[in-house]
Each structure stands twice: as structure tokens, then as C-alpha cells.
Amino acid sequence: MNPDIKVIIYEEKSILKKLLSLLDEQYDCIINKDAIQMDKIASKLDEASKELAKIEIQRRNIMGSEASMRETISLCDDENIKSAYEEIVSTIKMVQLQKEANDTLIKQRLFFTKKMINLIKPSKDIGVYNAYG
């Protein structure tokens, strides 16, 4: 296996771990209603996503866009690379779950806030009676 691919696999693994920890921090901020910290974490999440995209582009340039990572890893004899790849796959699943949970919580908070604002602010419509009352 190409040594550059090995380096990329370990870099992807570390970036994904960082991304997962940032999503956990975001979850805590959502629960604690800390909007200022959430904004800071959003920029960090964006930077981590860009790093991951750069690494993925490097991998595709080395391996080619048609090559499957799973097939390449299955043909590899190095057990460390196989375990690192399996850890990457499980981390990606955890990242997806955490992202979905964060999105759901944010949507719920926004829905609640919108309902409260609509309850507090007076209606601008003029009540018009029709034939039914």
C-alpha cells in the first residue's frame, strides 16, 4: 500500500475524532442555551470540515476517483490500517448520529421560540366578521 494513503488514513481519523468532539461541544451548548459559544463552535466545525475535504481530495488524487477505499483496505495486509479504517467508519456513523441529534434539537428550539414570539406579539390583522360570526 502507498505510504501516502496510510498517512491520509491516519489524518482522516484524527480529523473525524476532532469533528465528533466539536459536535459534542455543540450539543452541550444547545442544551445549555449558550448561543455565543455555539457560534464559535460553528466556525470550528466549518474549519474541520474543510480540512477533511482537503484530505479527501488528496486521497482521490492519489488513488483515483474510481477506486474504492473499502476494496483497497480489504486487499491490504497491514492490520493497523484495517483497524484504523474500521475506526474511521464507526466514527463517521457517530458523527452522523450526533449531527442529526444536534439538528433536531436546534429545530425544536427554533420552533418553540417562534411559537413564543407569535404568542407575545399582537396580531396585526384586523378581525373582520363574516356571515358565520
CA distance 90 to 124: 52
Q: What is the pTM of this model?
A: 0.81
The CATH code of the domain at 3-107 is 1.20.58.300
Mean pLDDT of 93-99: 96
Distance CA 106, CA 88 (A): 27
pLDDT band of residue 2 (cuts 50, 70, 90) is confident
